[in-house]
Amino acid sequence: MNVLEIRGLWKNFGKLAAVAGVDLDFQEGEFTSIIGPNGAGKTTLFNLVTGKLSPSSGTIMFNGKDITGLTPYQISRLKLSRIFQITNLFPELTVYENIKVSVLAKRKETSKIFTSSKNRGQADEEAERILEIIGLSDKKDSLCGSLSHGDQRLVEVGVALATDPVLLLLDEPTGGMGPEETDRMVQFVRTLQEKQKVTILLVEHDMGVVFSVSERIVVMHQGAVIADGNPDEIRKNDKVREAYLGE
């Protein structure tokens, strides 16, 4: 079953086609990386899928529903979540509070964020469950602003999981991380996809990460898809080596 279907998608900025006639299908439970040189159109594609940008033409179908032109809020409500390149948390709130805000937002109960722990309910239980998934239960009372960059990225994933996503878009999740934090994130993403059964689209510049976690790799260049296949097929593709690897 296709979770996401993209047909004839274009996004023009003046005479520049940032996304040029893209046709893609993504199946339920699939882990796909989207790679390409700077300016290839990867982030623009994510912006179109999540409603941050409206397409010049084409259609985007999510779980059989036409989401073309919907707002980010409307799309998020349909269980499509995204992790951005730049950390986007409430640094003055604790890890637990950041997660709970997202849980309550999904339940339309954000006024209850500071409810006494004596009145714990399903939202508290869900927040605790997500803390266990991201491995930060021991840091639940730490302010997000005091965490390492790697831990902050894990909290962001937790915030996204609080919306119970069917499709999760990860935009440069290891950006700015050292080798140890990168390895930790890679292991986490692998486990997440296996245990949560969520469909994942990943934009990532670290090819070690891409080839270690991906079932499928889509390569973009100048707004268009130039290759689409499993990691071995992409490694052997002459167009990819020419456009992306500079050979």
At 23 the three-state DSSP class reads: strand
Q: Which helix (H) or strand (E) holds 98?
A: helix 95-106
Spatial distance between the Cα atoms of 187 and 156, rounded to a whole number of angstroms: 16
Q: Is it the case that residue 78 has pLDDT exceeding 60?
A: yes
pLDDT of residue 62: 97
Whether residue 28 contacts residue 83, with contact meaning beta carbons closer than 8 Å, is answered with no
pLDDT of residue 114: 54
Whether residue 141 contacts residue 95, with contact meaning beta carbons closer than 8 Å, is answered with yes
Average pLDDT (84-90) is 74
At 197 the three-state DSSP class reads: coil
Spatial distance between the Cα atoms of 36 and 240, rounded to a whole number of angstroms: 9
pLDDT confidence band for 191 (50 / 70 / 90): confident
Q: Is it the case that residue 170 has pLDDT exceeding 90?
A: yes
Per-residue tokens: 170: 């990860």
Q: Is it the case that residue 179 has pLDDT exceeding 50?
A: yes
pLDDT of residue 110: 54
Spatial distance between the Cα atoms of 218 and 76, rounded to a whole number of angstroms: 24
pLDDT confidence band for 226 (50 / 70 / 90): very high
Q: What angle do CA 75, 79, 81 make, to 5 degrees?
A: 75
Which pLDDT tens digit goes with each residue over 114-153? 554 544 578 888 999 999 999 999 999 999 999 998 999 9
Spatial distance between the Cα atoms of 199 and 31, rounded to a whole number of angstroms: 6
Average pLDDT (40-58) is 96
Whether residue 11 contacts residue 196, with contact meaning beta carbons closer than 8 Å, is answered with no
pLDDT of residue 177: 87
Residue with the two structure tokens 């934090």: 181
- CA dihedral for 124, 128, 134, 140, sign (positive or negative): positive
Spatial distance between the Cα atoms of 127 and 99, rounded to a whole number of angstroms: 6
End-to-end, the C-alpha distance of the chain in Å comes to 37
Spatial distance between the Cα atoms of 186 and 144, rounded to a whole number of angstroms: 21
Residues 6+ apart with CB under 8 A from 244: 35, 36, 37, 219, 221
**Structural domains of the chain, with CATH:** 1-79+200-247 (3.40.50.300)
pLDDT of residue 83: 85
User: Across the chain, what does the average pLDDT equal?
Assistant: 89
Per-residue tokens: 230: 């499993």
pLDDT of residue 147: 93
pLDDT confidence band for 163 (50 / 70 / 90): confident
Spatial distance between the Cα atoms of 216 and 222, rounded to a whole number of angstroms: 20
Average pLDDT (220-225) is 95
pLDDT of residue 92: 92
Per-residue tokens: 62: 């999510």
Least confident of 128-132, 172-176, 218-222: 172-176
